Amino acid sequence: MYKLSKSRVILILTICLIGIFFALPNLFKDSSKLPSWWQPVNLGLDLQGGSSLLMQVEVDEAIKERLGNVEDAARQILRENKIRYTNLKNGADGVHVKIENALSRDKAANLFRKIDDGIEVKDAEDGQTLIINYSEVALNQLKHKIVDQSIEIVRRRIDGMGTTEPVIQSQGTDRIVLQLPGLQNPEEVKQILGRTAKMAFHMVDSRTSALDARRGMLSNTSRLVKGSEGETYVITRKPVVSGENLVDANVSYQEGQPVVSFKFDSLGAKKFGEATKNNIGERLAIVLDNEVISAPTIQSAIMGGSGVITGNFSVKSANDLALLLRSGALPAQLQVLEERTVGAGLGADSIRDGVFASIIGFIAIVLFMLTAYGLFGLFTTITVFMNLFLMLGALSMINATLTLPGIAGIILTIGMAVDANVLIFERMREEVKAGRSTKDAAEAGFTEAWSTIVDSNLTTLVAAFVLFYFGTGPVRGFAVTLAIGIATSMFTSVTVTRLIITWWLNKYKPKKLPI
C-alpha cells in the first residue's frame, strides 16, 4: 500500500495525461483549426440542431419492377425454347402466361424456376395459365434486402456530401430515419435522396421513329423513353451495360464546360467496348432514372472502359450526378413522410441545462463527500474531476456523438464515480474501529472492498451492454457514455485515489486516518 512501483505510478499518470489531452478540445470554442485526430466530442441532433427525415422505402414498387425483369426473362425463355404462349403479363399476384400444351407448360414451369432464387410457379384455376412469383419467404428476404441496400446507398450519398456524424437507421420494416446534425436546410439532401440514380446504356432503335412507336408500331424488344430536353427516343429494352458495372464517376471539364466522366469495371468495359465497336454510326442512349440524359453518336470503338456524359450541366448539377453515380442506384424510391428541423437554439438550451444539472450534481456529491469523509472526501473530489476528463477524452478518441441521453449518462456516472470510494472508506472505518493500525486499515480498505466494487460495477456494465445491443439511437448513446463512465470511474476510484492517499500517507505519516 505504501509503496507503489515507479512503473505503476508512471502508467497511472500517463493514462490521466492522455485523457486530459484528448479532452482539451472540448474546452475550445473553435476547433476547426485543430487536426482531425484531435477534435471535441461530436454533438447530436438534439444538442446542435439540424434536420430529421423519416422516409419510406417503396418496397412494393421495387418488387413490381423485379417481377418486370422476371417477365422479360420468361419471354426470352419461351422464345429461345420455341414454346407457344399467349397473354404474358405482370399481374398483382405475379407474372401470368397461358400455355395450352401440357408438355410445353411443364417444360416452361421447370425453366421459369431457374430464373431467380426463390421463384415458384403455380397453376391458375383455368389449368392452362402459369403464375410466376417469389415464394413468401423469398419475398420477405427480398424486402429486407431492399431496405438494407437503401440504407447503405443513403449512407454513401450522405457521406459524399460531407455531413458529419449522420444517424441512419431502419424503423419498422420499410422506413428509414435520417438525422443530420448541423444541417438546417434539408432540401439539398431531399433532392439527392429523391433520385433513384439507376443508370444504363441502351442502343437507340434507329429502325423505329418515336412517331411510329406512338402509333403502336413498336417491337417487343424496344420501348419509348422521354429525354431530359423534351425529345422522345425509341431504345432497346435490354441495356448494353447497366449501372451495376460502374465503379467511379467524377466531374471533369471539356472546353471549359463541366462534364461527368465515368469508368466501368472489367466486365462493363468489355461489354461497352464490344457495343461501341459493333455499332459505329449508331446512337447510344444514356438513361438515368428512365430518362435519356444524352444520346451521342458512336464515332469509334471505346475500349478503355471509360467515357464522359455531356449535357447542359452546371458545376453543382455535374457534382450531384457524379455523387449519385458513385454511390450507386437506390433499389427503390424513397418517399419523405416526415421532416423536422431542430433549431440550434434548442440544442444550446439542452446543453446549458445538461451542464447546469452536471454542476449541481457535482457540487452535491462534493459537499456530501467532504462532510462524510473530510480530507479523503477532498481526494475523492480530485478523482471525480479526473473521471470527467477521462470520460470526455475517451468519447473524443472514439469520435462518439453526444446526445441528451448521453449527457444523462455522464450525470449518472458522476454519482456512480464515488460509489467505490464510499465502499473503500467505509471499510477503512470498520478496520479502524476494530483497532487496526493506520497502515493496515488503509490497506484493508482497498483490498477487501475490491471484490464488492467489481461486482457492483460489473452488473451495471452488463446492463449497459444490453442497452447498446438491443437499443437504437439515443438509447445506444446513453449506453456508450454509461459504459465508458463505469470504466473510468473504476480506474479513478481505485488507482488514482490510491495513488493520492499513498502519497499523502508517505509524506505526512499520520497516526490516525482522517475519516
Contact 147, 58 (CB under 8 A): no
Average the pLDDT over 425-454 and give the result: 87
pLDDT of residue 96: 93
Categorize the per-residue pLDDT at 346 as very low, low, confident or very high, splitting at 50, 70 and 90. Answer: low
- Identify the architecture of domain 199-311 in CATH: 2-Layer Sandwich (3.30)
Whose CA is closest to 400, among 171, 164, 179? Answer: 164
**Calpha distance 81→76 (Å, rounded):** 9
Residues above pLDDT 70, as percent of the chain: 98
* 35 or 354, which is more confident: 35
Long-range contacts of 316-322 (CB under 8 A, 24+ apart): 318/251, 318/258, 318/259, 318/260, 319/251, 320/191, 320/192, 321/249, 321/260, 321/288, 322/249, 322/250, 322/251, 322/260
All cell numbers assigned to 46 = 438534439
> Distance between alpha carbon 439 and the CA centroid of its chain, in Å?
54
Using the 8-state DSSP alphabet, how is residue 76 labeled? Answer: H
* 325 or 348, which is more confident: 325
pLDDT of residue 192: 82
pLDDT digits 0-9 by tens, 53-64: 999 999 998 898
Average the pLDDT over 57-86 and give the result: 89
pLDDT of residue 186: 81
Residue 354 reports pLDDT greater than 80: no
State which H helix or E strand residue 122 sits in.
strand 119-123
**What global pTM score does this model have?**
0.66
Residue 310 reports pLDDT greater than 90: no
**pLDDT averaged over the chain?**
87
* 498 or 214, which is more confident: 498
pLDDT digits 0-9 by tens, 136-186: 999 999 999 899 989 988 888 888 776 666 888 888 889 999 988 877 778
Whose CA is closest to 405, among 472, 470, 344, 477? Answer: 477
Residues above pLDDT 90, as percent of the chain: 33
Categorize the per-residue pLDDT at 344 as very low, low, confident or very high, splitting at 50, 70 and 90. Answer: low
pLDDT of residue 163: 65
pLDDT of residue 280: 92
pLDDT of residue 345: 62
β-strands 257-264, 246-254 pairing: antiparallel
Contact 496, 390 (CB under 8 A): no
Q: Which amino acid is at 147?
A: V
pLDDT of residue 2: 54
Average the pLDDT over 456-466 and give the result: 91
| Domain locations along the chain | 6-46+345-508, 63-130, 199-311
All cell numbers assigned to 187 = 432540401
pLDDT digits 0-9 by tens, 117-142: 899 999 998 889 999 999 999 999 99
Crossing angle of helices 474-491 and 438-470, rounded to 10°: 160
Residue 88 reports pLDDT greater than 80: yes
| Phi, then psi, of 413 in degrees rounded to 5 | -70, -25
Residue 1 reports pLDDT greater than 60: no
pLDDT of residue 221: 82
**Calpha distance 271→290 (Å, rounded):** 21
Cβ count within 10 A of residue 119: 19
Identify the CATH class of 6-46+345-508: mainly alpha
All cell numbers assigned to 178 = 435520417
Average the pLDDT over 81-101 and give the result: 90
Q: What angle do CA 398, 401, 406 make, to 5 degrees?
A: 110
Average the pLDDT over 329-342 and give the result: 86
Residue 496 reports pLDDT greater than 60: yes
pLDDT of residue 65: 82
pLDDT of residue 164: 62
Contact 260, 250 (CB under 8 A): yes
Residue 281 reports pLDDT greater than 60: yes
Categorize the per-residue pLDDT at 383 as very low, low, confident or very high, splitting at 50, 70 and 90. Answer: very high
pLDDT of residue 351: 74
Using the 8-state DSSP alphabet, how is residue 245 labeled? Answer: G
pLDDT of residue 130: 94
**Calpha distance 179→44 (Å, rounded):** 9
Average the pLDDT over 258-275 and give the result: 88
Average the pLDDT over 440-458 and give the result: 87
Residue 407 reports pLDDT greater than 60: yes
Using the 8-state DSSP alphabet, how is residue 38 labeled? Answer: S
Contact 515, 428 (CB under 8 A): yes
